[in-house]
Amino acid sequence: MATTLRTVLAQLNMRVGDIDGNVQRILDSSVHALHHQQADLIVFPELSLCGYNAQDLLLRASMQTRIERALARLCTALPHNLHVLVGYPWLEHNQRYNCCAHFYQGQIQAVYKKQFLPTDPTAFAQRYFTPGSEPLCIDINSIKIAIGIGEDIWQNAFIEQASAAKAKMIVSLNASTFHLNKQAEREQMLSNHAQRAHMPILYASQVGAQDDLIFDGGSCSVDAQGNLRQRAPAFSEELCAVELQFTRSDCHVERATVEPLLSEEASIYQALMMSLRNYVEHNGFPGVLLGLSGGIDSAVVLAIAADALGADKVQAVMMPYHYTAQISQDDAAAQALTMGVDYKTLAIAPMVEAFTQVLEPVFAELPSTANDTTEQNLQARCRGNLLMALSNKNGYLVLTTSNKSETAVGYSTLYGDMAGGFAPLKDVSKNMVYRLARYRNSLSPVIPARVISRPPSAELSPDQKDADSLPPYDILDEVLRLYVEEDCSAEAIIQQGFAKETVMRILRLVDISEYKRRQAAVGPRISKRSFGSDRRYPITNLWPLGD
Amino acid sequence: MATTLRTVLAQLNMRVGDIDGNVQRILDSSVHALHHQQADLIVFPELSLCGYNAQDLLLRASMQTRIERALARLCTALPHNLHVLVGYPWLEHNQRYNCCAHFYQGQIQAVYKKQFLPTDPTAFAQRYFTPGSEPLCIDINSIKIAIGIGEDIWQNAFIEQASAAKAKMIVSLNASTFHLNKQAEREQMLSNHAQRAHMPILYASQVGAQDDLIFDGGSCSVDAQGNLRQRAPAFSEELCAVELQFTRSDCHVERATVEPLLSEEASIYQALMMSLRNYVEHNGFPGVLLGLSGGIDSAVVLAIAADALGADKVQAVMMPYHYTAQISQDDAAAQALTMGVDYKTLAIAPMVEAFTQVLEPVFAELPSTANDTTEQNLQARCRGNLLMALSNKNGYLVLTTSNKSETAVGYSTLYGDMAGGFAPLKDVSKNMVYRLARYRNSLSPVIPARVISRPPSAELSPDQKDADSLPPYDILDEVLRLYVEEDCSAEAIIQQGFAKETVMRILRLVDISEYKRRQAAVGPRISKRSFGSDRRYPITNLWPLGD
């Protein structure tokens, strides 16, 4: 005789600080799972009640009172004949724990405290939480189920506990952040652990974006042989049903849907769209505006914005100067027209000339008064000021268009093209920007072909090309990946076949641009090592270059 | 018969990433301590070899090789007849430890691994270090000495270990960060622990500043009765000699100097000076420049800069507009003259008018075209652009002049008066800015009296006063302290006697300004809860206001 266990993994967009709203989401989903999916058990993400990552909101004195009230409400209002697992923070003897409560029959039947805290800097787990010291198994339909939260499931010691406790399956609550190919990493880990423990693992995770963090969802299930049996669609809310059939010796996973994995470009494009949409909508901006230059970066940002928010919420501004090519203006206007967004042109010459005249007598005393980065930065800053003035008047969020390659080497102007509240491409390398452009055009052509094919230029001086001051982006991006994401030394990078002079130049630019990055707008994290969250270098230091 | 132990606490400014330089500092100080101070033992700060806080430099592959080389050099080059304690990071079986080596007779006699890691967010200790699991005592002149690093000494469990091991004294290596009245906290804790353990404690700490962190020094010694017997001068390098006389039953601390404690104003003023001086000198800036408005904030920043760097390294720029009072220009010029700094005037009207004209047709379509924050921000941003252009040309570091009160409520313009590389007053409340001004003038009058006495104004619209849009600073600062530093709820603040409407308005301003603070320049931390390092709120959240 087989025992059936119908589980629903609730891949929801829980909101930070919105305890009442999250309780409602939990109640609505539970009722749906019971009545429409005949669920025995529903699993909500890690820290569902307060949202992830609530950061210092966790320290507010009223957090505990609010959580207590929310738990009491759930006891009363959850369907009594459904098992429900909910994550939340909990204070006990002055220690805060990352907990999971098991609700059933109008009561909390058991509480698990997360045992393994991650050390990655996006979580700051040690600032807020004390690790729990005991594993927990619960019984549902006489099936013994081990409960884990977040980092637990990545630890062999946790899997060994579940085996030692003779659990029949593992259920894991998560708020797992996205980076490129993260889903494959999760599934590989789950497969290894399931095989090792000879039990299925059900993995529920949150979806949505919170400031720089992206939660892609990725809820999935593997059977006791380590085969993937269920995968939720990425980047969307879903109540994923999984049916398990337990016999005395075995367990089958049935009636579950395996969504296909997305391509790299599709996953990043969707991640960036969701991140921007959540940031704009959750912060109540009426729309976004950006400077459209005729170049690839602003073209891709415009496409993402219009796709994510709808064309009526996007304003594009072309701000030409003497060095702006006519084709830049034509291409910018063409894309704006194709995408149906508001488009205007504001020339910056009057402001640039006003600055130049005021500064002329001061600079005349100095050795060189030629057009150098000072004058180039002035152009960028006049553009930044214009966008900020428009934003001040209409409340639209200014998007900055710098990509990760530029941010890495400081090829951008503080308070100029770096001015703005959100940077969609902050963690996207220049080569990936091109890949995203081609990917987007493969769905429907919105970015003029010439924007993709012409050599990139900041157009801040006559006939300027990026290639005049930077190595080709193929080389730049790979050297940056090795240095920034892999922590390789200059020597190790040179050994891979790059010219020493090029490598040292790039590394030096990265090192001296740290101060700029500290003042950069927030933007979505799509790599394991983003600027802002994951890479913390001292500005002031005497470390030997590239060592 | 008494046993004598002469110890030197080496309160030095170790440099981040400068392993060779730090080794040289250790060697020079050791030779001096042996020959001029007849020391038996010299104690260097926590993580002396790599400097504190090296952050992700600790992850570089070559760090371990460099540390190994440094330790070998110290074995060879340190005086063989001196006991030397040095802090450094160490990789072992893929775990990194925060260690202290005991050098003697050309060898490392013993290694201690820090057991208690701090959870405060300025340290990020868990990102880099694994806690050690064993206490260590070393023997010098038959005196048993327990070794601690940083957080260890704050933990009762550590003191109990030292007692259980029957140590005769404790030596603690530190890189302890400054905040107001921190020295009193340190000494109180040391006194309590010494009394409890019935043994003296010697506390050596680093001095100097590193980005936002300030190390005030604060090296000191308490005897077995908990009395303070030695205190180093704050904010300066010093090799502090402490002589201990051990009898069978007792221990006396002799021949040590107790420097007086500084007043609150003096300690903050010196902290800000040291922080700016270290930032400027260690990053190789030829000097600093700032906008001088005739107001109190820029007056105090100018005083700190001229005092810290010398007048010849400071340039002040007055950038008047229609709303700038004549007395503002007079007072700015007077202070610049008194302090002997370079001073110039650049009017911003041509740029503001150029922007206004370009924007006029765009704004004409909108309901209101009156002078609102858009126009005010334009003025501030024209000033920011001018300062950045000057900085671009001469390489001087732009100082921003915003204080903590303004930063808290967002009473500053992104890319305007927030433009710059270093913010000396970032963690200083408006009231403390006034106290610092009076303190500085008590040494010698450099800030015109009228700057201190006149009502503060941003001078961005006709007859504007801060008090028109903000509560009086006495009230504002106290409400901010309760909310930002003490995490009080609105209800708790109102119970202290503040008007509900005022409190809710202030708290709302703090909450909605989080995005601005993310893009603020780095500045010295002088409180327990600074923006930037210690207070991490999500930008996007639905937490109920003031709860």
pLDDT at residue B546, rounded to an integer: 83
CB–CB of B388 and A415 under 8 A?
Answer: yes
CA-based torsion, A528, A531, A536, A537: positive or negative: positive
Q: Are residue A316 and residue A455 in the same domain, yes or no?
A: yes
In a domain, residue B73? The reply is yes
Probe site for chain A from B53, B482, B543 (most A CB atoms < 10 A): B543
Instruction: Say which of B56, B66, B211 has its CB closest to residue A539.
Output: B211
pLDDT tens, position by position, for chain A (547 residues)?
A: 789 999 999 999 999 999 999 999 999 999 999 999 999 999 999 999 999 989 999 999 899 999 999 999 999 999 999 999 999 999 999 999 999 999 999 999 999 999 999 877 666 788 899 999 999 999 999 999 999 999 999 999 999 999 999 999 999 999 999 999 999 999 999 999 999 999 999 999 999 999 999 999 999 999 999 999 999 999 999 999 999 999 888 888 887 899 999 999 999 999 999 999 999 999 999 999 999 999 999 999 999 999 999 999 999 999 999 999 999 999 999 999 999 999 999 999 999 999 999 999 999 887 765 567 899 999 999 999 999 999 999 999 999 999 999 999 999 999 999 999 999 999 999 999 999 999 999 999 999 999 999 988 888 888 888 888 889 999 999 999 999 999 999 999 999 999 999 999 999 999 999 999 999 999 999 999 998 778 888 888 988 888 8
CB–CB of B120 and A127 under 8 A?
Answer: yes
pLDDT at residue A371, rounded to an integer: 62
Largest CA distance in chain A: 93
Flag whether residue B31 sits within 8 Å of chain A, measured between CB atoms. Answer: no
Residue of B nearest to A534 (CA): B56
CB–CB of A487 and B61 under 8 A?
Answer: yes
Nearest to A484 by CA among A544, A401, A433, A409: A409
pLDDT at residue A337, rounded to an integer: 97
Task: Name the minimum distance, in Å, from the CA of A210 to any CA of chain B.
Answer: 7
CB–CB of B537 and A62 under 8 A?
Answer: no
Probe site for chain B from A514, A542, A545 (most B CB atoms < 10 A): A542
Among candidate residues A46, A187, A238, A459, the one labeled active-site is: A46
Write down which residue in A436, A461, A486 finishes a domain.
A461
Flag whether residue A142 sits within 8 Å of chain B, measured between CB atoms. Answer: no
Among candidate residues B114, B168, B313, B430, the one labeled active-site is: B114
Q: Which residues of A touch B394 (CB under 8 A)?
A: 366
Chain-centroid distance of CA B265 in Å reads: 15
Give the separation between CA B283 and CA B520, rounded to whole angstroms: 19
pLDDT at residue A461, rounded to an integer: 86
Domains in chain A, number: 2
CATH of the domain at B195: 3.60.110.10
Q: Are residue B311 and residue B247 in the same domain, yes or no?
A: no
In a domain, residue B77? The reply is yes
In a domain, residue B266? The reply is no
CB–CB of A388 and B124 under 8 A?
Answer: no
Give the separation between CA A138 and CA A55, rounded to whole angstroms: 30
Flag whether residue B384 sits within 8 Å of chain A, measured between CB atoms. Answer: yes
Instruction: Say which of B353, B386, B540 has its CB closest to residue A282.
Output: B540
Flag whether residue B537 sits within 8 Å of chain A, measured between CB atoms. Answer: yes
Give DSSP secondary structure letters for B88-128: EEEEETTEEEEEEEEEETTEEEEEEE-------TTT-HHHH
Flag whether residue A95 sits within 8 Å of chain B, measured between CB atoms. Answer: no
Q: Is A46 among the catalytic positions?
A: yes
CB–CB of B16 and A414 under 8 A?
Answer: no
CB–CB of A519 and B515 under 8 A?
Answer: no
Instruction: Say which of A378, A535, A547 has its CB closest to residue B62.
Output: A547
pLDDT in tens, B63-100: 999 999 999 999 999 999 999 999 999 999 999 999 99
Q: Are residue B364 and residue B496 in the same domain, yes or no?
A: yes
pLDDT at residue B370, rounded to an integer: 58
Task: Name the minimum distance, in Å, from the CA of A423 to any CA of chain B.
Answer: 12
Per-residue HEC secondary structure of A482-522 comes to HHHHCCCCHHHHHHCCCCHHHHHHHHHHHHHCHHHHHCCCE
H/E stretch holding A314: strand A314-318
Write down which residue in A461, A488, A518 finishes a domain.
A461
pLDDT tens, position by position, for chain B (547 residues)?
A: 789 999 999 999 999 999 999 999 999 999 999 999 999 999 999 999 999 989 999 999 899 999 999 999 999 999 999 999 999 999 999 999 999 999 999 999 999 999 999 877 666 788 899 999 999 999 999 999 999 999 999 999 999 999 999 999 999 999 999 999 999 999 999 999 999 999 999 999 999 999 999 999 999 999 999 999 999 999 999 999 999 999 888 888 887 899 999 999 999 999 999 999 999 999 999 999 999 999 999 999 999 999 999 999 999 999 999 999 999 999 999 999 999 999 999 999 999 999 999 999 999 887 765 567 899 999 999 999 999 999 999 999 999 999 999 999 999 999 999 999 999 999 999 999 999 999 999 999 999 999 999 988 888 888 888 888 889 999 999 999 999 999 999 999 999 999 999 999 999 999 999 999 999 999 999 999 998 778 888 888 888 888 8
Residue of A nearest to B119 (CA): A127
Q: Which residues of B touch A17 (CB under 8 A)?
A: 538, 541-544
Q: Are residue B94 and residue B160 in the same domain, yes or no?
A: yes
Q: Which residues of B touch A374 (CB under 8 A)?
A: 389, 392-393
Cβ atoms of A16 and A52 closer than 8 Å: yes
CB–CB of A351 and B354 under 8 A?
Answer: yes
Global confidence as pTM = 0.95
Q: Are residue A286 and residue A384 in the same domain, yes or no?
A: yes
Residue of A nearest to B57 (CA): A537
CB–CB of B538 and A211 under 8 A?
Answer: yes
User: A residues 462-521 near B, CB within 8 Å?
Assistant: 487-489, 492, 515, 518-521
In a domain, residue A27? The reply is yes
Q: Is B404 among the catalytic positions?
A: no
CATH of the domain at A307: 3.40.50.620
Q: Are residue B315 and residue B461 in the same domain, yes or no?
A: yes
Q: Partners of A137 in the beta sheet? A: A146
In a domain, residue A492? The reply is no
Q: Which residues of B touch A385 (CB under 8 A)?
A: 355, 378, 381-382, 385, 415
Q: Are residue B493 and residue B383 in the same domain, yes or no?
A: yes
Nearest to A47 by CA among A118, A109, A139: A118
Task: Name the minimum distance, in Å, from the CA of A346 to any CA of chain B.
Answer: 7
Helix (H, G, I), strand (E, B) or coil at A77: helix
Nearest to B162 by CA among B177, B178, B143: B143
| Residues annotated in a binding site of B for L-glutamine | 176, 182
Q: Are residue A192 and residue A335 in the same domain, yes or no?
A: no
Helix (H, G, I), strand (E, B) or coil at B420: coil
Instruction: Retrieve residue B271's tokens.
Output: 């902290």
Flag whether residue A166 sits within 8 Å of chain B, measured between CB atoms. Answer: no
Task: Name the minimum distance, in Å, from the CA of B243 to any CA of chain A.
Answer: 35
**A/B interface, count of CB pairs below 8 Å:** 239
CB–CB of B283 and A388 under 8 A?
Answer: no
Query: B83-92 and B41-43 as β-strands: parallel, antiparallel, unpaired?
Result: parallel
Q: Are residue A84 and residue A109 in the same domain, yes or no?
A: yes
Give the separation between CA B91 and CA A305, rounded to whole angstroms: 46
Q: Are residue B355 and residue B482 in the same domain, yes or no?
A: yes
Q: Which residues of B touch A18 (CB under 8 A)?
A: 541-543
Instruction: Say which of A57, A421, A547 has its CB closest to residue B537.
Output: A57
In a domain, residue A518? The reply is no
Instruction: Say which of A18, A51, A359 has its CB closest to residue B389.
Output: A359
Q: Are residue B240 and residue B315 in the same domain, yes or no?
A: no
Task: Name the minimum distance, in Å, from the CA of A547 to any CA of chain B.
Answer: 6
Flag whether residue A16 sits within 8 Å of chain B, measured between CB atoms. Answer: yes
Q: Which residues of B touch A119 (CB under 8 A)?
A: 126-127
Nearest to B415 by CA among B402, B404, B428, B405: B402
* Domain housing A402: 278-461
pLDDT at residue B371, rounded to an integer: 62
Flag whether residue A281 sits within 8 Å of chain B, measured between CB atoms. Answer: no
Residue of A nearest to B351 (CA): A354
Nearest to A299 by CA among A289, A288, A310, A291: A291
pLDDT at residue B255, rounded to an integer: 76
User: B residues 322-341 near A, CB within 8 Å?
Assistant: none
In a domain, residue B211? The reply is yes
User: A residues 406-445 near B, CB within 8 Å?
Assistant: 414-415, 419, 421
In a domain, residue B191? The reply is yes
Count CA within 13 A, CB hemisphere, residue A505. Answer: 12
Instruction: Report helix angle B373-394 to B349-364, nearest 10.
Output: 140
User: A residues 225-264 near B, CB within 8 Å?
Assistant: none
Task: Name the minimum distance, in Å, from the CA of B386 to any CA of chain A.
Answer: 7
Write the single-letter amino acid at A152.
D
Write down which residue in A232, A261, A290 finishes a domain.
A261
Q: Are residue B62 and residue B178 in the same domain, yes or no?
A: yes
Rounded alpha-carbon distances, angstroms, from residue B375 to A389, B379, B469: 8, 7, 16
